[in-house]
Structure 1
């Protein structure tokens, strides 16, 4: 492609101007993308959820966002990242894609109605000056506004260069001599439109070329209509290429985009004459002159996209079900990332949500490993069955190579999470987003530390967990029960409505666990004093009790990051109300002291109750 461009520059000075116009236009779109990304963050997810809970809202969101960003490809790729991170449903994503296709037609109206009739370069210069001034400021919001202003300036400048380039090109070469009439011409120029869009990665840039060429008389009106259809279809191909790197949800949405654009293109090609008649009729009603081919092209572009939305919108749920049923993939091994892919970095919000989803998978891997180490199944832990009875009835310890499972299912996934966090941190984040990333990184480490503690404890647990001596088995039963209880209560919290759960929900569990830990340590000391337990065995028990406490503490801390964060004000209030470690240990010690005094007064039988 570079060699072809170089040859074009050599043989035609006017080609330089056209190519420069396209380059400036594309650079303006990149600047707009950069500017809009500066304003994404925690609020974006709330706006999305409120704007996509109905199909008409999803379509409206797609129209408005594409009109503002002037890039249906960007909106489509961002939407794929949202669906992949499970921030929105697949049906909502399909609605946004339909709206984005409709919203992209506003660019054609802008270029045809303003860019080709007004000296738009005069407006580009002030926008570029203001953009550079804002870009030199330190605040992120100011830089974002600077990118937006520069984007608008370069868009306008690109349109101006394209217009003057085709005007000059007309005197040297007449492309209209290569016009192809009839249905063959429609198919040929549709294919050319697809190819141009795939190369430039922008249907807006293709429309700019089409409108500028039509304005200069370099292509016929009929061929311009076919090129516009091809530009629309080409945008789906560029989105599909980006969507192929996404996870299963993103791939399904990319397929939905291709289906929608193929359907729209097929209808537009089949009914191109009828839609052309509708353009003539509606153009007359809204005051478009018969010889104003540029505005007629913009109206045609709007009509066939609107027709596609009207055709597909009633079948959105059916399309969603079809994609879920037929677009599947081979399940990745648990140790491979499922949500972390380059497209998730499109916005900080989608990156953080993808990380939280992947952290949930790391937690589940650790859950499986530790549960097997305890010789308890997840179904038992998550049921209503008594944990005391389940532990006491264990007949055999499940064989487990902790080191092997750790290497395959924990370490590799933890490494991928840390690498993705590093990538996200390098893209410029708000303070609240940086805090969330730090919390997710720390949670990943907590999960790994819990597994490592299980590695240390597992040998003794396998040896003494089913000891025939109740003095030995009893403390290990209590350790197994305590860890299982942590998993049970965390799973119950995770299953609740995220809006009603806070980190304070875990304080009562932490206090209860600290009480149990101190109680077990006290009982081990008492058995040593009464000569019922050998000091060597007691040392092993105390070490394992310490490992069990480490497992529980790390799991609880990690589970906080799995909860959806509230506002910074809510989190600050939770921090004030939450008990710190010293307070929990002091309250637990007071409870144990009261229990002992109660037992001394009422007898051992009452105290055990």
Structure 2
């Protein structure tokens, strides 16, 4: 029991330290990660580099692959881009193994002490992030040391040592058993780095020679696919294909090395170092780099296979009106998640614009079907507001900067304004139906005035969305200034129409509808101005 408790406790510290260090790295490099994703092209080699760098930061190839599934699901990344990133993630995850294979136990307590000291006595956010990296680094090695001491007594158990030694036998049964062991442990722990840490702890105590450890390491690379496969449940077909490519890549690489390249790899690492822990870490790195270099040339074949296994659906590329860009899997990197929220808010704005256009056309064309379409789209706008609000709450509970928190507050206000635009479109559609059902006529002058005001309002709302997309301060200022003009226009049109009513140039029923329409149009202009003000406020800070 002492061995089990020691191993579990050490593994817990190891995983916690890795998470703390990864959180510090992500907060320090969050914006850089966003830029890495933005510069991605269909070039698979660039994808490999980005995948390796991102995984070095988040300290988990599983986390990177889950994020990639989220990116593909949200339309940030194409499948061909995703494959390169997935391959690079396998290289990036070897950094953890390289770190823990070096005996740095002596400096671990010092690292924790210095990190905590810095964290307590500074208010600078960047310095605190750096302190978290140091703290996580120290805790990781304390956990590693604890695992090493926990497994030390296992040398006395002949059955256990014989089992481990059998993994290195050349027969197929033992090799498959070793691969399945690596797969099973990694699937349960959900971290190939943690499994590798356990193996290095065993190797450092002389319990696991490289001949036995290498097939287990191969199995961990398949086990790490389980997280992404589970994550792809509920995602679109392209995201499922990304998770499938991850599995195909690791399975093919494992089979290739298990059958053909195991002996050359083991020979190379044993010539390079006499330390069993270093041999294991080097074998892990060599396998992942070599596997990527060998298979990166076959990315089109992986994509082709994934599309054959998960067939193309004609409805896949239909235009999406609802939520399109946000995905919980992207929350691992808050800076990227916030960028996706920005895209989703703009998408919501365009859906609301579609609702408004249907409603105003329904009035001018006296078309009830267009009004009914407005109601359908407006429900989508309401649903989008709920989902974006929920997502913003999730992002706000992650580790984000003060600037990012201000952006989230601005997004809350903006989606509320957009949702209100949808409500006014809904009102306009109801007025259009009322006009049709009651066969109300309007004078040419009244219709002309409504059309002129509508064109001003639509222009104002479109420019507000453009300012939101491009952070165009000048355009935002124009929207704000035009809002005053539209307010004046609404008062003038109201006075003109009351004059026509007094002169009996319009029937009372039409007059009420006219006044309700210009009131709704004026409110849409107000919300457009609010969106522009939010753009101005955020970019002034």
State yes or no: 1:96 paired with 2:120.
Answer: no
TM-score by length of 1: 0.75
Tell me the CA shift for residue 160 of structure 1. 1.4
Kept in 2: contact 1:125–1:153 (CA 8 A): yes
Normalising by structure 2, what TM-score? 0.83
When residues 498 and 439 of structure 1 are mapped into structure 2, their CA distance, relative to the original with a 3 A threshold, is closer
Partner of 1:25: 14
Per the TM alignment, residue 206 of structure 1 is displaced from its structure 2 partner at its CA by 0.9
1:524 aligns with 2:497: yes
Give the alignment partner of residue 306 of structure 1, picking from 278, 289, 309: 289
Task: Show the 5 A alignment for 1:40-79.
Answer: 41-50=30-39, 54-79=43-68
Match of 1:411 in 2: 382
The match for 2:424 among 453, 458, 477 is 453
Q: Please give the root-mean-square deviation of Cα atoms over the aligned residues, in Å.
A: 3.9
1:542 aligns with 2:515: yes
Deviations, residues 148-203 of structure 1 (Å, cap 9, x unaligned):
12211111112212222222221245423121521111111101101111111211
Aligned to 2:357: 371
1:222 aligns with 2:211: yes
Say how many residue pairs are matched.
530
TM-aligned CA deviation for residue 123 of structure 1: 0.9
Contact 1:275 1:303 in 2 (8 A): no
Deviations 1:321-368 (A, max 9, x none): 765784668879978644444323222223223323433443344334
Deviations 1:243-278 (A, max 9, x none): 43655554443233222212211212221xx34225
The answer for unaligned runs of 5 or more in structure 1 is 1-8, 377-390, 574-609
**In 1, distance between residues paired with 2:78 and 2:368?**
42
1:68–1:442: structure 2 CA closer, same or farther, 3 Å change rule?
closer
Q: Do residues 159 (structure 1) and 144 (structure 2) align?
A: yes
Q: Which of 114, 121, 127 does residue 105 from structure 2 map onto? A: 121
Say if 2:114 is the partner of 1:133.
no
Equivalent of 2:263 in 256, 271, 276? 276
Is 1:505 matched with 2:475?
yes
> Gapped runs of 5+ residues in structure 2?
none
Q: Deviations over 1:67-121 (max 9, x none)?
A: 4553222333344444444444443332222112012223333333x23xxxx32
Alpha-carbon deviation of 1:125? 0.4
CA distance, structure 2, for counterparts of residue 87 and residue 305 of structure 1: 26
Confirm or deny: 8 A CA contact 1:202 1:235 kept in the other structure: yes
Say whether the 8 Å CA contact 2:56–2:92 is kept in structure 1: yes
Paired residues of 1:90 and 1:249 also in contact (CA < 8 A): yes
Matched, 1:232 2:213: no
Q: CA 1:469 to 1:208, structure 2 compared with 1: closer, same or farther past 3 Å?
A: closer
Larger Rg: 1
Query: Within 5 A, what are the aligned runs for 1:216-365?
Result: 216-244=205-233, 250-271=239-260, 274-281=261-268, 284=271, 287-289=272-274, 292-317=275-300, 319-320=302-303, 326=310, 337-365=323-351
Contact 1:366 1:451 in 2 (8 A): yes
Measure the CA separation in 1 of the matches of 2:73 and 2:533: 23
The answer (yes or no) to whether the contact 1:372–1:398 under 8 Å persists in 2 is no
Distance (Å, rounded) in 2 between the aligned partners of 1:174 and 1:347: 45
**CA displacement at 1:567 relative to structure 2:** 12
For 2:370 and 2:50, locate their aligned partners in 1 and report how far apart those are by CA, in whole Å: 53
| Residue 572 of structure 1: aligned partner | 540
Which digits, 9 at most, give the CA deviation of each residue in 1:531-559, with x for residues without a partner? 42356643542232011121244356558
Distance 1:477 1:31, change over 3 A: same
